[in-house]
């Protein structure tokens, strides 16, 4: 039997043949088959870079894309056309490998960095002996061309495709130290706007055709959008973030200026349409946004806005950070999902503000649509009568306290809204709460389970206390346990009469 050939993905660097590694050059020169991708109506850049190393008489396989941008007649659209192309291309290379020929697939830059090689690797590596030879990526060559230091010490470097939605790109640019933005061309105008919104435009450098004879670089602000080719990228050096006049918050840098009002803003459960006009106006006027990272991410980035995102269990620390900024005269908003006063940041801010150091910092809470309101509205009107709200999280209060309150609510025959029912580290509370409630409530008591209400993947389940499956409940859920008089109408709506008797 013929021994299968070996499959090699070889990076040929960004353009200058002298940047090809010695190992890559050796493998290209001894290959039985040299393959490379090419754009629609274009020659292969990878082949051009490696041309002098390709031996005479070697078998060449040009893998020409069926589409790059624009429309396609393929029934699966662009994704379908490309998937079919990769299947056909891998089959062509597999035929050579089955015949015992070693195949080198050339890749511009590095094979595993935004390269088409990866899609071939997915299909061929499980069957054939595979080797990957790294190459100098385009951003490394661009940084050298512009002499732009990327990151130092603890700086974070983020690589971003210019095809990201503009608000998302702006947010990520504001949150990182150094950045590389790839895939420009027709995306350049939106990328430029995102840089401006993030306050990084003045430090952004545009590099075109790095390491090639026609390379050039200049400030992004000076680039003609109509002149930007695909082979270009943008560098935002990590150093630039620390030279823009931004304030690094902390108690050691408190200025003697008059304290500003600290706003605590409820963002609602998720959709922008549930954000109040008051909150929208406030967020457009502050200079700093402080909060749990997923909530900070929901605030649109704009020029002059500094974001301070943190984890989920440091509420007092982030409250102090916000108070320090406000005490220094900065305009600050602390953000919470839902309503900031319902298991949100408002209480944490007031707790931190009991420190006499913050006595001169005024605090104002702006309400938001709460999760219980959103779930109740989706279900109908289950909280139309008296109701209670309880969190099952025992991080800040012991479980016996929660259990006593569950008993009291059940005995009072109140509708009960349950926040924080479960998490990765808390998996038993729902089952225990259900057991406690069943000691005082009928098994037929109506239960509404709202998951991700207002967001993608939203679901609403109406069940009973007896049928509630605790294993299906997590932190994305909010439960509403009905009272004895809560009704499910023939149309499926859940509501609780305001009258008793």
pLDDT tens string, the chain, 501 residues long: the values are 789 999 999 999 999 999 999 999 999 999 999 999 998 888 999 999 999 999 999 999 999 999 876 678 888 888 899 999 999 999 999 999 999 999 999 999 999 999 899 999 999 999 999 999 999 999 999 999 998 888 888 899 999 999 999 999 998 998 899 999 999 989 999 999 999 999 899 889 999 999 999 899 999 999 999 989 888 999 998 865 554 433 334 444 444 468 899 999 999 998 889 999 999 999 999 999 999 988 999 999 988 899 998 877 789 999 999 999 999 999 999 999 999 999 999 999 999 999 999 999 999 999 999 999 999 999 999 999 999 999 998 888 899 999 999 999 999 999 999 999 987 767 788 999 999 999 999 999 999 999 999 888 899 999 999 999 998 998 889 999 999 999 999 999 999 998 875
State how far the alpha carbon of 51 is from the alpha carbons of 41, 134, 157, 209, in Å: 19, 18, 33, 18
> Could you tell me the pTM of the whole model?
0.71
Instruction: Check: CB of residue 86 under 8 Å from CB of residue 65.
Output: no
Q: How many CB atoms lie within 10 A of CB 1?
A: 4
CA distance 91 to 72: 22
Torsion of CA 165, 169, 170, 171, to 10 degrees: 110
Walk me through the domains of the chain, giving residue ranges and CATH numbers: 7-135 (3.40.1010.10), 140-241 (3.30.950.10), 251-366 (3.40.1010.10), 372-495 (3.30.950.10)
CA distance 409 to 427: 22
Phi, psi of 291 (to 5 degrees): 165, 180
CA distance 249 to 156: 18
CA distance 436 to 406: 7
At residue 454's C-alpha, the angle toward residues 448 and 457, to 5°, is: 80
Comparing C-alpha atoms, which of 446, 442, 395, 396 is closest to residue 416? 446
The tokens of 104 are what? 């080198």
State how far the alpha carbon of 136 is from the alpha carbons of 14, 34, 141, in Å: 7, 20, 7
CA distance 22 to 419: 60
pLDDT of residue 133: 97
DSSP 20: S
CA distance 163 to 151: 23
pLDDT of residue 244: 40
**Beta strands at 178-182 and 103-107: parallel, antiparallel or unpaired:** unpaired
Secondary structure of residue 374 in the 3-state scheme: helix
Instruction: Check: CB of residue 250 under 8 Å from CB of residue 324.
Output: yes
The tokens of 237 are what? 């050096």
Query: Which distant-in-sequence residues (6+ apart) come within 8 Å of 358 by Cβ?
Result: 323, 327, 352
State how far the alpha carbon of 356 is from the alpha carbons of 21, 108, 250, 350, 352, in Å: 63, 61, 17, 12, 10
Task: Work out the end-to-end distance of the chain between its first and last CA atoms, rounded to an integer number of angstroms.
Answer: 87
Instruction: Check: CB of residue 49 under 8 Å from CB of residue 209.
Output: no
CA distance 470 to 433: 10
CA distance 384 to 370: 15
pLDDT of residue 61: 97
pLDDT of residue 478: 95
Comparing C-alpha atoms, which of 338, 289, 294, 298 is closest to residue 318? 289
Give the DSSP H/E element, type plus range, for residue 481: strand 477-481
CA distance 330 to 258: 9
Q: How many CB atoms lie within 10 A of CB 423?
A: 15
Phi, psi of 391 (to 5 degrees): -100, 135
CA distance 483 to 446: 8
Comparing C-alpha atoms, which of 362, 363, 315, 324 is closest to residue 343? 315
CA distance 192 to 198: 10
The tokens of 252 are what? 């050691």
């Amino acid at each position: 039997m013929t021994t299968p050939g070996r499959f090699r993905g070889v990076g040929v660097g960004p353009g200058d043949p002298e940047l090809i590694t010695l190992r890559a050059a050796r493998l290209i020169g001894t290959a039985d088959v040299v393959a490379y991708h090419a754009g629609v109506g274009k020659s292969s850049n990878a082949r051009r870079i490696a041309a002098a190393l390709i031996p005479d008489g070697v078998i060449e396989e040009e893998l020409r894309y069926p589409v790059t941008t624009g429309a396609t007649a393929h029934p699966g659209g662009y994704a379908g056309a490309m998937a079919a192309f990769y299947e056909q291309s891998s089959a062509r290379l597999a035929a050579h490998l089955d015949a015992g020929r070693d195949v080198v697939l050339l890749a511009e830059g590095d094979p595993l960095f935004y390269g088409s090689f990866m899609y071939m690797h997915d299909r061929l590596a499980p069957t054939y002996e595979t080797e990957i030879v790294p190459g100098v990526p385009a951003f490394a060559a661009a940084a050298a061309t512009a002499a732009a230091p990327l990151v130092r010490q603890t700086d974070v470097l983020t690589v971003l495709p210019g095809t990201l939605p503009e608000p998302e790109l702006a947010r990520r640019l504001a949150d990182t130290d150094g950045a590389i933005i790839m895939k420009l061309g027709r995306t350049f105008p939106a990328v430029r706007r995102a840089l401006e919104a993030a306050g990084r435009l003045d430090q952004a450098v545009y590099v075109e055709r790095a390491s090639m004879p026609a390379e050039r670089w200049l400030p992004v602000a000076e680039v003609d959008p109509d002149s930007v080719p695909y082979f270009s990228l943008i560098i935002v050096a990590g150093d630039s973030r620390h030279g823009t006049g931004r304030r690094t918050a902390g108690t050691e840098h408190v200025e003697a200026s008059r304290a500003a009002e600290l706003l605590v803003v409820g963002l609602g459960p998720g959709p922008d349409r549930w954000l109040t006009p008051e909150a929208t106006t406030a967020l457009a006027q502050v200079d700093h946004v402080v909060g749990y990272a997923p909530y900070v991410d929901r605030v649109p980035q704009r020029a002059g806005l500094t974001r301070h995102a943190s984890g989920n269990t440091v509420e007092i620390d982030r409250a102090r950070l916000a108070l320090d900024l406000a005490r220094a005269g900065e305009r600050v908003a602390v953000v919470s999902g839902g309503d900031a006063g319902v298991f949100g940041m408002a209480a944490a801010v007031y707790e931190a503000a009991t420190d006499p150091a913050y006595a001169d910092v005024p605090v104002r809470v702006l309400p938001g649509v709460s999760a219980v309101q959103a779930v109740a509205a989706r279900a109908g009107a289950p909280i139309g009568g008296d109701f209670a709200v309880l969190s099952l999280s025992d991080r800040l209060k012991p479980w016996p306290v929660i259990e006593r309150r569950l008993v009291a609510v059940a005995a009072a025959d109140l509708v009960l809204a349950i926040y924080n029912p479960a998490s990765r580290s808390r998996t038993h509370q729902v089952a225990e709460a259900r057991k406690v409630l069943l000691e005082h409530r009928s098994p037929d008591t109506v239960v509404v389970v709202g998951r991700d209400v207002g967001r993608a993947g939203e679901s609403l389940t109406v069940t009973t206390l007896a049928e509630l499956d605790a294993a299906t409940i997590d932190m994305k859920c909010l439960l509403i346990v009905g009272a004895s008089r809560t009704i499910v109408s023939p149309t499926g709506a859940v509501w609780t009469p305001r009258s008793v008797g």
